[in-house]
Structure 1
Amino acid sequence: MSEIEQLESRIAAAMERIGIAMDRLAEAAAAPPSAPEIDPEELAALRTQLDEERTANAQLEARVQAIRDRQETRVAALHREVEEQKAALAQLDAEVQGVRRVARQLRENNAALRQANEQGVGDPDLIDAGMRAEVEALRAERATESAEVAAILAVLGPLAEQALAGEAGPDRAAEEQEAG
C-alpha cells in the first residue's frame, strides 16, 4: 500500500501544481499584457535610424520644393517670353500690313499716272518719281517679309533645338546609367 499512498501523494501534488498554474493563468488573463522587454541598445539604434530617415525625408522634401520652385520660375519666364514674342509678332504683323497697304496705294497711283501719261496729260518726271517710289516700296515690303521670316525662325529655332536635345537626352541618360 505504500505504493498506493505514494501515488496518491504524487497525484495530490500534481493537482496542487495544476491549481496553482490555473490561478496564474487566470491572473495573467485578467492583467494587461506587459510590454516585451526591449534591448536599450536596439531601441537607441532604431531611434537613430528613424531620425536619419526623418532627416533624409526632410532633405528630399526640400529638394522637391526647390525643384518645384525652379520649375514654376522657369514656366513663368517661358510664359512671359511667349507673351513678349506674341506682342512682337503682332507689332511686326501690323507693320507688314501697313507696308503692304502703302505699296498697294503706290501701285494704284502709278497705274493712274501711267494711264494719264498715255492720254498725254502726265509729267514724265512725276511718273519716274512714282515708279522709283513703287520700287522702293516693293523693296521695303520684301525687307519686311524677310524680317517676318527671321522673327519666325528666331521663335522656332530654339524650340527645334530643344526638341532635338530632348530626343537625344533620354538616350544619353540610359547610356550613362549602363556605363556607370
Structure 2
Amino acid sequence: MQDINTLQDRLDAALTRIGRGLSDLGPLQTEPEVPPQPEGPDPAELEAELASEREVTAQLQERLKTSRERADARIAEVESDLQTAQDQLAEIEADRVRLKAMLTALRDTCEALRTANEEGLGDSDLINTAMATEIEALHAMRASDRAELEAIVAMIGDATDEGGR
C-alpha cells in the first residue's frame, strides 16, 4: 500500500506541475485557426487577366482576318491588272507583227517601183500597189500607236486611282 501512496503523491505532484504550466500559458484560444493563404496571385485576378488576354487575342485574330481579306482583294486586283497589261501587250505585239509585215511589203513594192523606174517602165499598177501598201502601213502604225496610248492612259488612270486612296 505504501507503493500506492507513493505513486499517488507522485501523480499529484505531476498534476500540480501541469496545472502551473497551463496557467503560465494563459487562457485557451477558442478561435479556429485561420488556414494559411496560398502564396502567389489571387485566382480571381488570374481569371480576370485570362479573360482580358482572350479578348485581346480575339481582337487580334479579327484584325488578322481583316488584313488577310484586304491582302487577298489586293492580290486579286493586281492579278486582274496584270492580265489586262498582258492582254494589252499581246495586242501591241500583234500590231507590231502586222506593221512589220506591211513594212516588208512596202519595201518590196518600193524596190519594184525603183526597178521599174530605172528601166523606164512607169507601171501604174505598181504605183497603186505601193500607195495602198503605204496607206495600210500608216493605218497599222496609227492603230499600234493608239493601242499603246490607250495602255498608257489606263496605267495612268490606275495610278491616279491608287494615289487617291
Long gaps (5+) in structure 1: 1-15, 21-31, 167-180
Higher mean alpha-carbon deviation, 60-69 vs 134-143, is at 60-69
- Runs of 4+ in structure 1 deviating by more than 6 angstroms, as ranges, are none
Structure with greater helix share of residues = 1
Q: CA deviation at 1:50?
A: 4.2
| Residues 28-83 of structure 1 deviation map (CA, whole Å, 9 limit, x = unaligned) | xxxx96348x99xxx4xx57854652453243123212213213312321342243
**Do the aligned partners of 1:103 and 1:138 also contact (CA within 8 Å) in 2?**
no
- Residue aligning to 1:120: 120
Q: How many residues of Structure 1 are paired with residues of Structure 2 in the alignment?
A: 132
Long gaps (5+) in structure 2: 1-23, 27-34
Instruction: Identify the structure with bigger relative contact order (alpha carbons < 8 Å, sequence gap 6+).
Output: 2
- Identity over aligned residues, as a percent? 18
**Cα separation, partners in 2 of 1:161 and 1:86, compared to 1, 3 Å:** closer
| Residues 87-141 of structure 1 deviation map (CA, whole Å, 9 limit, x = unaligned) | 2243123213213312321331232232134233352023213312211221121
Which entry has the higher C-alpha Rg, 1 or 2? 2
Equivalent residues in 2 for 1:64-83, closer than 5 Å: 64-83=63-82
- Residue aligning to 1:160: 160
**Do the aligned partners of 2:106 and 2:134 also contact (CA within 8 Å) in 1?**
yes
- Residue aligning to 1:170: none
